[in-house]
């Protein structure tokens, strides 16, 4: 058995005392007996900063799937174009007036298709901008780069320029921007000023969607209605959160956004969230207070809230650093409190 070192009573000493030896923090040598050894602690400012991992894994290499779908889409577009051309020619051969009517319809359809494609491309570009902005902000929090932080804040201000509710927050951020020296502090200030009202509104949207799903799935008579309603509610919630944070996705953007949300749930362990949700329900005594249908409704509401929190992480342009991340436990308390209050 190893002997315990003798207990030393508290004492005072001077640093210039020859009996005091200041040791290197990395020195692992055994100190000599009879001397007072002082081992300084590491400077907190020099410690590494914890930065969130990227929400979306970066895909590398040649994307054969994208090439296949692009080529298939090109072939389908060429086939449709040839079919429309032959249809217009047949209409002109049958009657000149029918030919002009068909030509007008074809031009209108082509114009609408160009507008739709442009909107989808713009939505995908804005979603990519949000993703890059999130990664750049995470990099600045780790590197404390002042120049890059100002570039990130300028891009963030341009993204929030179309939101009238952030006018006061934008003015406050621009007024204090010259007073901030550190790059990480600049990102934290931008998060506190611009993300606070958006996070509050996002929490309200997620809570309302969870309550709506809980009520409908508790009273619906068919399981098919539950599945359809939950799916539509999830799509609507993700679109609302994307619009709130400035993404404004189209149909393709929503498909890509859904993929990112599901991938984020898988990365953060969302597939095993059912166990923790059940534990929260049991911890609040729901199993003894609610019927089976009401319990299923509450569980569906909590799962919807979990999906909404993942959507917030994906669509938010800045990582959570200065502000607390919305917790599922808080949303569960609100949902369960309202459910218990609605009981007779």
Question: 3-class SS at 232?
Answer: helix
Tokens, residue 60 = 């590398």
pLDDT of residue 272: 43
Spell out the domain ranges in the chain.
195-336
Strand partners, 22: 38
Q: Distance between terminal CA atoms of the chain?
A: 66
Strand partners, 36: 20
pLDDT of residue 245: 87
pLDDT of residue 107: 92
DSSP at 16: T
- Give, for all 344 residues of the chain, the pLDDT tens digit: 445 555 556 666 666 666 666 666 666 666 566 566 666 665 554 555 544 544 444 455 667 887 888 888 889 989 988 998 999 888 888 888 888 999 999 999 989 989 988 888 888 888 888 888 888 888 888 888 888 888 888 888 888 777 778 888 888 888 877 777 888 888 888 888 888 888 889 898 988 888 888 888 777 777 777 778 888 888 888 888 888 888 877 777 788 878 877 776 665 554 444 445 545 554 445 444 445 556 667 777 788 888 888 888 888 888 888 888 887 777 776 666 655 555 54
pLDDT of residue 287: 44
| pLDDT tens digits for range 32-73 | 665 666 666 655 545 555 445 444 444 556 678 878 888 888
Tokens, residue 322 = 């200065």
Question: 3-class SS at 323?
Answer: coil
Q: How remote is the C-alpha of 93 from its chain's centroid?
A: 57
CA distances from 225 to 206, 298, 300 (A): 21, 16, 13
Spatial distance between the Cα atoms of 95 and 37, rounded to a whole number of angstroms: 104
Strand partners, 20: 36
pLDDT of residue 111: 93
Residue 128 has, within 13 A of its CA and on its CB side, a CA count of 8
| pLDDT tens digits for range 276-290 | 554 555 444 544 444
For helices 183-190 and 96-143, the axis angle rounded to 10 degrees is 130
pLDDT of residue 258: 80
* Spatial contact of 318 and 133, defined as CB atoms under 8 Å apart: yes
Spatial distance between the Cα atoms of 217 and 293, rounded to a whole number of angstroms: 8
pLDDT of residue 38: 64
- Whole-prediction pTM: 0.66
Q: How buried is residue 254: exposed, middle or buried, by Cβ count under 10 Å (0-12/13-18/19+)?
A: middle
Check the CA dihedral 171-175-176-178 and report its sign.
positive
* Spatial contact of 295 and 168, defined as CB atoms under 8 Å apart: no
CA distances from 149 to 126, 139, 146, 180 (A): 20, 9, 5, 10
């Amino acid at each position: 058995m190893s002997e315990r070192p003798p207990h030393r009573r508290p004492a005072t000493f001077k640093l210039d005392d020859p009996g005091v030896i200041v040791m290197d923090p990395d020195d692992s040598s055994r100190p000599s007996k009879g001397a007072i050894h002082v081992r300084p602690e590491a400077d907190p400012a020099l410690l590494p900063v914890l930065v969130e991992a990227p929400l979306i894994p970066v895909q590398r290499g040649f994307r054969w799937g994208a090439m296949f779908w692009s080529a298939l889409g090109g072939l389908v577009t060429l086939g449709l174009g040839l079919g429309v051309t032959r249809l217009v020619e047949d209409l002109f051969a049958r009657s000149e007036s029918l030919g002009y009517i068909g030509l007008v319809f074809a031009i209108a359809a082509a114009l609408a298709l160009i507008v739709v494609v442009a909107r989808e491309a713009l939505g995908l570009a804005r979603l990519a901008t949000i993703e890059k902005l999130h990664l750049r902000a995470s990099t600045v929090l780790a590197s404390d780069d002042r120049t890059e932080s100002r570039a990130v804040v300028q891009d963030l201000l341009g993204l929030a320029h179309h939101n009238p509710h952030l006018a006061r927050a934008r003015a406050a951020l621009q007024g204090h921007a010259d007073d901030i020296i550190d790059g990480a502090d600049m990102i934290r200030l931008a998060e506190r000023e611009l993300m606070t009202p958006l996070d509050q509104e996002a929490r309200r949207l997620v809570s309302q969607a969870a309550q709506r799903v809980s009520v409908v799935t508790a009273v619906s008579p068919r399981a098919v209605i539950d599945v359809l309603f939950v799916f539509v509610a999830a799509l609507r919630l993700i679109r609302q959160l994307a619009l709130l944070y400035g993404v404004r996705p189209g149909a393709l953007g929503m498909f890509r956004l859904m993929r990112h949300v599901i991938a984020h749930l898988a990365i953060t362990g969302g597939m095993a969230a059912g166990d923790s949700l059940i534990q929260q329900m049991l911890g609040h005594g729901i199993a003894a207070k609610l019927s089976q249908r009401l319990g299923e409704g509450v569980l569906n509401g909590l799962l919807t809230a979990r999906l909404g929190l993942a959507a917030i992480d994906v669509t938010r342009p800045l990582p959570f650093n200065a502000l607390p991340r919305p917790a599922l436990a808080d949303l569960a308390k609100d949902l369960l409190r309202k459910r218990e209050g609605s009981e007779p």
